[in-house]
Amino acid sequence: MESMPVVPRFMDVHTHPQMLAYNSDREAVLGRAKIAGVKMIAVGTQFSTSHAAIELAGKYPKDVWATVGFHPAHFSVNWYHDKNEQSSPEREIFDIVALEDLAKNPKVVAIGECGLDYFRDKDEGTKDRQKEGFVAQISLAHRLKKPLMIHCRAAFPDLIQILKSKPEILNSPPGIIHFFSGTIDEAKKLLDMGFYFTFGGVITFARDYDYVIKMIPIDRILSETDAPYVSPVPYRGKRNEPAYVVEVVRKLADLKGVSIEETSETIFRNAQNVFGLIKS
C-alpha cells in the first residue's frame, strides 16, 4: 500500500492578524491560512494589541497563539501613529504590571515584541526608556518562564550588550530575534546565547539576507510574515497575511538547498521547541 503524502505544516511565528488592518475580513484571512496549513502567533505591540491577540487566540485555539509585549517604538515621544495598529492617536504608556497580568493567560507563549529600535528616533532619552522597558520585559519573561519575541533595528550592539549583561535571567531557549537584520558577527553572538531567528517576506525580493540565512543552522530558523507589512513575492504591493508565509518558507528552502516539505517541518518543530507548543 502506498503511503499518503505528508501535507506540509507551516508556522507564521510573528504576525498581527488582530490589528485594525483586518477588521473587515479577519475571518476570511484566518480561513485562507487554515486552508494553506498555516498556524500562527499573533504578536502584541502594546497593551491593546496584546489583549486583542489573546482574544483572537481564544477564538481560534488550534491555530493561533498570542504574545504580550510593548514595542520599543512606543517609547518614543515622536511615536508614529500607525492606523493599521490602533485607531487612537494617543500613545500608550508602558505598564509592566498590566502586561504581566495579560501574560499569565495560558494562550500567551512569549513576551514581546520588545527590544530596541533606533531607526527613526536617535534621541538619548528615548534610547534610555527603550532600554529600561526592554530589561523589564526580559525580567517578566524570566518570571513567567516564557521566551522573548525581540524586535531590534539599528541597535544590535546595545541589544547584545544588554542580553550579555543579564545571563541569569535569560531562559533556555531565551527566545527569537524577529526579522533579523544584523551582521554575521551579531548573528553569531546571538546564536551563542541560544537565540533563534525569524525571516519574512523581504528575503523573497532582496538578496541582503542570503548569506546570514545560509550561515544560521536550519534548526535555529523560523518563518514569519509580520503581516500586514512587507508582503513577499508574488504579493508585493498588497496587504500581507499569514497564508503568505508559504512563500517565505519556499525561499528559505531554496537558500538551504532542501525541500519545502523538510524546511516547513523543521520550522514547525523549531516553533514547538521555542514556544512550548503542544506537539501535534
Query: What is the per-residue pLDDT for 1?
Result: 45
> What is the 8-class DSSP label of residue 231?
P
* Whether pLDDT at 112 is above 60: yes
Q: How many residues does the chain have?
A: 280
- Residues contacting 257, CB < 8 A, separation 6+: none
Joined together, the cell numbers standing for residue 127 give 534610547
Distance in angstroms (rounded) separating the CA atoms of residues 92 and 96? 12
pLDDT digits (tens, 9 = 90+) for 156-173: 999 999 999 999 999 999
pLDDT > 90: what percent of the chain? 88
What angle (nearest 5°) sits at the alpha carbon of residue 23, between those of residues 250 and 20? Answer: 80
* Whether pLDDT at 32 is above 70: yes
- Residues contacting 280, CB < 8 A, separation 6+: none
Distance in angstroms (rounded) separating the CA atoms of residues 203 and 206? 5
Query: What is the per-residue pLDDT for 124?
Result: 93
Query: What is the per-residue pLDDT for 280?
Result: 46
* Whether pLDDT at 252 is above 70: yes
Q: Which domains does the chain carry?
A: 10-275 (3.20.20.140)
* Whether pLDDT at 26 is above 70: yes
Query: What is the per-residue pLDDT for 7?
Result: 63
Strands of 200-252, DSSP E? 221-223
Query: What is the per-residue pLDDT for 278?
Result: 67
pLDDT > 70: what percent of the chain? 96
Element holding 248 (H helix, E strand): helix 245-256
Q: How far is CA 166 from CA 174, 182, 212, 258, in A?
A: 11, 20, 25, 36
Q: How far is CA 202 from CA 16, 113, 176, 214, 248, in A?
A: 17, 19, 18, 16, 9
At 161, is the secondary structure helix, strand, or coil?
A: helix
Least confident of 118-132, 134-148, 152-166, 256-270: 118-132
Instruction: Confirm if 239 and 246 have CB atoms less than 8 A apart.
Output: no
Residue 228: asked if its preceding bond is cis (omega within 30°), the reply is yes
- Res. 41 pLDDT band, cuts 50 70 90: very high
At 42, is the secondary structure helix, strand, or coil?
A: strand
